[in-house]
Structure formats: C-alpha cells, structure tokens
Amino acid sequence: MGVVSPGAGDGFGMPRVPIGFVPAPEVRRALGSVPSLVVFRSPRGWGKTSTASYWLRQHGSGYDRIWINVPSREVGREEFWRIVHRRIRDAGLGDLAGSDTWDDVHRRIYERARHLVLAIDGLHHVTEPGVDEELLALVNENESFHLFVMMRDERPIETLAKITADGVVFRVAQLTLGTAEVADLAEAADLPVSIAEAQRLRTELGGWPALVRAVLLESTRGADGELRVDWSAVEKYTRLVLSDPDVAATAPFVMAIAVPREFTEDVAAHVLGRAVADRAFGYLTGSGLLTRSAATGPPSYHYSSVVRLAILRVYAESDPEGYQRANREMAAWYRERGVADAALEHAVRAEDWPSTASIIEAYWVELVSGHPDQVRDALGRLPAALVRGSARLLVARDYILNVDTSERSVSALRAGLLDVDSDLGRTGELRLSLGQVLSLRSTGQYEVAREIVERQRVDLLTADGAWTEDVLSEMPELLLQWSITRLFGADTVGAAYAFREAYRWAGERGLTPAKREAGAGLALSLAILGHTLGAQRWLTRVAGLPLSDEAEPSTLEHLSVRFVHEIIDLDSLRLEVGPQWREPRLPVALADLRAIALQLHASRSMHSGSRFDSIGMLESYRQQLREQGKGPGLADNVVVTSLVDLLVQTGQADRARAMLTEADPNSAWQRLAHARHSLYAGEFEEAIAFTDNAVAQAGVRPRTSLHLALLRASASHRAGLADQAADALHLAIAVAEQSGQLRPFLMVPRADLEEIGASMPQAAEFLYRPELVDAPELFPAPHEAIRLSERELRVLTEIAPGLSLSHAARRLYVSENTIKTQMRNIYRKLGVHTREDAIDRARELGLLPPLVDLDRSTDAG
C-alpha cells in the first residue's frame, strides 16, 4: 500500500501531493504506465488533482510535464488555447511564435521527439465542447503526447476516452478509498486504526478521500484505547464544499435531497419538482455522495448517516424556510405510505406540531413499541396543550415512555407482584410511576403525586387535571394494545407486567370484558415464561369473572386460555390430554399467536405423531414471516427453537446448525436452541458456554432456566466437570418442583441425570417419579466429541465438493497413499465407512460448512 510524502514543485506547475496521500485501489493498479489519455471526473474532494500529480511523479525521468489550471470561471475556446500556448512556452518546451491557437500548439507538439504529458485541471470551466475533439486529435496524431484531464462535469472527452486505444476513465467509484486505504491514511496521519475501525470510517464517509482525511486529522484515541471520532469535521468540510462557487448551482438540490432518508427518482421529483429532478438526478447519483440500496425494486439511494446529518444542519441554517417546507412535504409523503417513523422524523424537523401529534396518535402502538426514543423526543417538544388534548399522547408520555419499564417489570415479577392476589397499585417503588412524572413537571402538587404512586386512586388522577375522564376511559384498551405488542416483540416479562396493569385499570373502570382479556393474556405470558402455577391461578380468576349471556370471550382470551391449558398438560406430561392440531382463526392484529399454536403442536408431535409434518409446517410459516418482513420477535423465536428441537430429534443436526448461523445472539430463546444443538453435536464446551446464565434466569424465566440447567448438567457431566454438573441438576430440580415442569427432563440423556444424581438423594427421588420413568427420551444419544487434525480437516474440505482423492493429493502436495491413510483415520474418528457419510457427518458436526452455505458461496462466485 503506497503512502506518498509531500512532493515539491518541479517547475512545470505540478501541484504538491498531500502528506500521506494514498491512491485508490483501481488507480494503484494503473500506475505502472502513462496511457495516452486519462480522464478524471468527480466532485470536489475525490482526489482528482492529487491522484494525477502523484501518478505523473512516478514517471518523471522520461516525460516532460505541464500542468494547466483552468480559471474558475467560464473560459472560451480561444482563451483556453492561449492558456495552453503560454504554459508550453513558459515551461521552456519550445518557441511558439504564432497565433496562440490550437494549430500552433499542435505543430509544436508534433515536432517534439520527447514525450510530453499535458495535465488540464478544471476542463469543466471551458464552455465549448468542441475543445474536447481538438484535445483528442492531439492525442491521436502525436504518439509522444499524453493527456490527463480533470473535471467535475460530464463532457464529450469522457466518452471519447473510452474509444481511445489505451484511454482510461476514473469516476467516483474508481477514486473511492477502500478499507485498507483508509487504514493506510490513518497510519500516515499518526492515528493507527484497526480494520474494524477503518471499515466503519469507510462506510460512514463513503470512502470520500478528502472527508476521510479531514475526520482523521480531527480525531484522537482516548486513554482507554477507544477511537474518538470527531464527526464535526464532516460538517466543516460539508460547509466548505457547498460554498464552493463550482457547487453553488447544485447546492440547493444536494441539500434538499438529504431530507428523505433515501430516495428514488419519484421521491426526488416530489422533493425537487420534476423539472429540477430530471436535471439533478444524474448529477446526484454520479456524485459519489450517495450509496445505492441493495433492496429489490426501483433504484434507491441514500447519503451516509453522518454526511446526511451534516448537510441537514447546513440546510437548516442557510435556508430555514426551505428546510421546514421540504420536511413537511416528506412527512406527508411517508405518512401516505404508512412509514410511521420516517413521517414522525420529518414532522418534528419541520416543527409541524399538529402533524407530529397526529402521526403519533395514528401509529401509536407501532411507534411507541418500535421507536420509543424517537417518540419520547417528539413528545418532549410538543406544546403542552396538544398533549393534554389526546389520551394516547398523555398515556405514551406519562405512563409508558417515562420510565425503564423493563427493569420495573423484572422487579415486579421477582417480587411476586404479578400474582393474582397481589395489589400492584400499592407498590409505589415498583409500578409505572404516573405520579412521579406529574411531580417532576413542577406542578407543585408533590403530595398529590405521592398519593397517586402509593395508593393509585383514580379520583386523584382526575382531580389533578392532567388525566381527564376521556384519558382514563381509554387506559385499559391502550394498555391491552401495549401488552400484546410487548408479547409479540418477545418481551414476555414486559407483556406480563402490562397485562397486569391493564387488568387493574379495567377493574377500576368497571370494564369486565377487558379484565377477562387482560387476565387471560397475563396467564399466557406467565405460562410461556414457565410460571405455570401462577398461570393456573389467573385462569381460575378469569373463569370467575362474570360474562353476560350475549357476550363471547374475545379471540385473545379464548386462545390464551386454550394455550395455557395445553402448555400445562405438556409440562406435566399429560400427553393423552389436549386437542389435536387446530388452525386458529386469527385477526391480523393477533396473527403472531399462530406461532404458539404451531409450537404446541410440534412439541406434542415429538412424543407421538408426524414429526416431519410439523417440520414442514414450521418451515412454511417461517418462510411466511420472512416474506412479510417480520424481524426478531415471538414468532421467529418460537419457530427457530421448535425447528431446532425437531431437527435434532430426527437426525438433521446439520440443518439445525445451518439455521442457527442466522440466529439472533441476543435472544434467550435462540441461545437455548444453540445450547441444545451443541450438546447433541458433542460440542460440550460450547453447550456449557451457552448455559452460563441458567441461575440468573431462574426467578424470572423458569422455563428457560430449567432447560439451560439440564443441558448444562449433561454437558458438564460429559466434560468431566462433576461439581458443576451436580450444581446444575440441583438447580433444575428446584425449578421443576416450584413450577411443576417435568417435560424438560425428557429432553436430555436420562443416563447422564441418573449418574449425576446417584449421590444426591433429592435428585434420585425426583428422577424416579413414575411420570419420568415411564416416558421415553425424546432425543438420540449425543455424539461424542470429535477432534480432527488440521491436515484431516483440509482433506475433508478438498473432497467435499466432489473432487477425487488424486486431485486432493495434488492440491495438498502429498501422495495419494497419504490421502487414503488420512481418509481411514477420518472414517474411524467419525464412525462411518464411506466418503459420503464422512462428509455428511462432518457437516452435522460443524466441521464443514452446511450445504446451504456452500450453495451461497457458489452463487456469489
């Protein structure tokens, strides 16, 4: 990687090369020769001048070089050739007594024997395009003449260069710095960076050379070793570029098109107007400032987030009215298309507060659940009168977004405050604090706020004035919506807490149907978490609530009750009880409940039934989730964990491994799936690592804790860690006795548990319960840990695509007999007898990549 030191002037007008200049990769590959015609076209800051000067300095001994800077104004043909004529004369390369025109220049160049390179910087200032043809004629008619051209706008010479024998054109794409070049530039700036840091800088700054340099020169590394990137340099450089006279004509639409997060031609027309967009679109997409999105459909472009924010700050200061108008228009554009978070962003930027409030109300659940920080910021900016007039805005501001609900939910669950007999309203320190927020608003009513927190009296809320009767009447329904959103977002603890709050509020408002729905939802949340005894108590409470003769349970209530009963039956191994598969009828808002129905059916099929049918149903549903663009959530987690269990059970561990390569590492569900697969693949150390939080999960997620503890016990036992295995089994039995769950004990090798528990009286008593002794194990025995040598792995990798042993021997530079010996060792270690079985077994164990990965790499090639 070449880093150049500053160059001195050379008498031919060559500009200096900046300290630490690093040529772009495609330029570096071309530096070995001097083509007859080289064209650079890019906006300011992409290194045209530095690259050309650096290039020509590599070939100084055999070439005369003349550098011409075209004035930064309109220059006609005659003036241009007079400038060229004068520079040749001043450089001492010949007496050009004559008319100062192209003819005289051509004659003098033609008579020369020594190679001459003419570098023209700023050709875009020349008004007459016919000059391009004349320049090309100089190239074509004089073998010793070479031409380097730098320009910002497209001109005929760019097209002409393509048809010249050795012509070369460099645009933004070819001048962009790669990760390695960014790292080299940082080294030259005395700020060494890691590859990951260089990649981040390259991505955020789009490989824009001048911008990368500016940011590096302003950044530092802290005492803790962390790179402190000074992004303010981006704004400084952006201001410099947009104030450049050459950019002045394009600056308005460069700024306006930064308003949308990304844009197509249609969006550009909406922002700029069709006439302006038609002129500007090509410039923008060729400017190098934009990145094309990888999504299918019409081409879509966006600035990097850092550059976009810098441009927007300049836009807001230089043309505040235009900035607000553009944002209002984009808020309407995104709202019409249902892109709520983008619509809200633009409404806030426009300071259009009625529109901001309207967007939050219209997309309340989606925004509050998916973009809480953005909504919190918007609500903080809204005028108080607007907020007071809306129940949803008040609930979002004062109830959901004002505290860390996750921490409070966990605390309440650990303290037993979600139990059916607890009084959540009297637990001031653990509930969502409505009153604390009111007091923090400096209302002067601290005692009223304290009463609200500690006693939760609705009359005090109404008396305070901030929570009107309209607000209070909507609370149960809004909290039910929030509860369902938390459940489907895989925040089951948060869902349980929200359902408990919805139940309490519905009771205070006398809304029995909402109480039944909230109580059933809470029971389902608790059952999923593994608090099955608590779930049973809530079902009993719901069943005791009155239901009018005309009314029927809601879909949420009906399915929650059904699912909780099925979960409890499975947990207690009452496998003969419970319905067979029934497709639930679900409204769109509750569509994700289908995942729970599929999981329960799959779990039952593991004991008796068509496991392969269940695999097919789950895979089909997973594909539907992907087509719908569903991200991580309850449905995805449930499907992945259920599929991994079934695939491991049916001897398809290689497919399970391939699926887990895409798993969410932050998901407790999918971490459990990883642990299960690792145990049965014989990867005991990995299984132990995946189960290291079993104790921490016990009080909140006993189902996950129980599964993790059992997997940890088995993996530790097989790894020879007797004390760790005993501790894990002790935890598992304690959780099982408290929650009533038995089925997880069938999902690990029974022999392992019996050997671990042989010296533990409590364990022996539990493990020999009739329900466990009479039930068959669900999985085949785990594989023994297998370790192949590096050479054996290389042999397997070579033959996996179907290559012959002799071909593999040639590639590895060994004899065919050596390969055969290594294959016999591989067969012995893997417990197989054929090459095909060895490859399949190696994939199953993760020693070779799954077939799906091989297919992708082949497609990519």
Q: What is the pLDDT of residues 163-204, one digit of tens each?
A: 877 889 998 888 989 899 999 999 988 899 998 899 989 888
**pLDDT of res. 451:** 36
**Which domains are assigned to the chain?**
25-175 (3.40.50.300), 179-230 (no CATH), 416-597 (no CATH), 665-785 (1.25.40), 790-860 (1.10.10.10)
Most confident range, picked from 276-280, 366-370, 785-789, 856-860: 366-370
**pLDDT of res. 621:** 92
**CA-CA-CA-CA torsion sign (449, 450, 455, 459):** negative
Inter-axis angle of helices 320-336 and 265-272, to 10 degrees? 140
Distance CA 438, CA 467 (A): 10
**pLDDT of res. 551:** 72
Asked if pLDDT for residue 534 goes beyond 90, the answer is yes
- CA 400 vs. chain centroid, Å, equals 25
Average pLDDT of span 492-501: 91
Task: Return the closest-CA partner of residue 490 out of 522, 535, 525.
Answer: 525
Distance CA 841, CA 343 (A): 52
Looking at the DSSP assignment, which residues form a beta bridge with residue 263? 301
Q: For 605, how many CA atoms within 13 A lie in the half-sphere containing its CB?
A: 25
Average pLDDT of span 764-785: 87
Distance CA 283, CA 152 (A): 10
- Asked whether the beta carbons of 37 and 168 are under 8 A apart, the reply is yes
pLDDT in tens, 140-151: 888 888 999 999
Contacts 24+ apart (CB under 8 A), 663-671: 664/632, 664/636, 664/637, 667/490, 667/632, 667/637, 668/697, 668/701, 668/704, 669/490, 669/637, 669/638, 669/640, 669/641, 669/704, 670/637, 670/640, 670/641
C-alpha dihedral, 552 to 557 to 560 to 565, nearest 10°: -50
For residue 596, what pLDDT band results from cuts at 50, 70 and 90? very high
**CA-CA-CA-CA torsion sign (604, 606, 608, 612):** positive
Angstrom CA distances, 38 to 141, 158, 583, stand at 16, 9, 67
Inter-axis angle of helices 653-660 and 851-860, to 10 degrees? 50
Distance CA 668, CA 705 (A): 10
- Greatest alpha-carbon span in the chain: 113
Six-digit token string for 321: 């009215």
Average pLDDT of span 150-171: 88
- Asked whether the beta carbons of 497 and 418 are under 8 A apart, the reply is yes
Distance CA 451, CA 463 (A): 12
Task: Return the closest-CA partner of residue 239 out of 164, 314, 166, 300.
Answer: 314
C-alpha dihedral, 549 to 550 to 551 to 552, nearest 10°: 80
Six-digit token string for 254: 């460069």
Q: Which amino acid is at 212?
A: V
For residue 851, what pLDDT band results from cuts at 50, 70 and 90? low
Six-digit token string for 268: 């550009």
- Asked whether the beta carbons of 147 and 36 are under 8 A apart, the reply is yes
More confident residue, 244 or 687: 687
Average pLDDT of span 380-407: 74
* DSSP state at residue 697: H
Distance CA 194, CA 202 (A): 12
Angstrom CA distances, 398 to 391, 395, 405, 481, 675, stand at 10, 5, 12, 16, 41
**pLDDT of res. 619:** 93
**pLDDT of res. 436:** 32
Average pLDDT of span 136-141: 88
For residue 131, what pLDDT band results from cuts at 50, 70 and 90? very high
DSSP-based three-state secondary structure for 116: strand
Inter-axis angle of helices 372-381 and 353-362, to 10 degrees? 140
Task: Please report which helix (H) or strand (E) contains residue 41, including its range.
Answer: strand 37-41
**pLDDT of res. 5:** 41
Report H helices in 512-551. Answer: 512-529, 532-543
For residue 95, what pLDDT band results from cuts at 50, 70 and 90? low
More confident residue, 96 or 39: 39
SS (H, E, C) 285-340: HCCCCEEECCCCCCCCEEECHHHHHHHHHHHHHHCHHHHHHHHHHHHHHHHHCCCH
- CA 154 vs. chain centroid, Å, equals 36
- Asked whether the beta carbons of 21 and 54 are under 8 A apart, the reply is yes
DSSP-based three-state secondary structure for 736: helix
Distance CA 514, CA 855 (A): 51
Report H helices in 650-777. Answer: 653-660, 668-680, 684-690, 694-697, 702-718, 722-739, 750-757, 761-767, 770-773
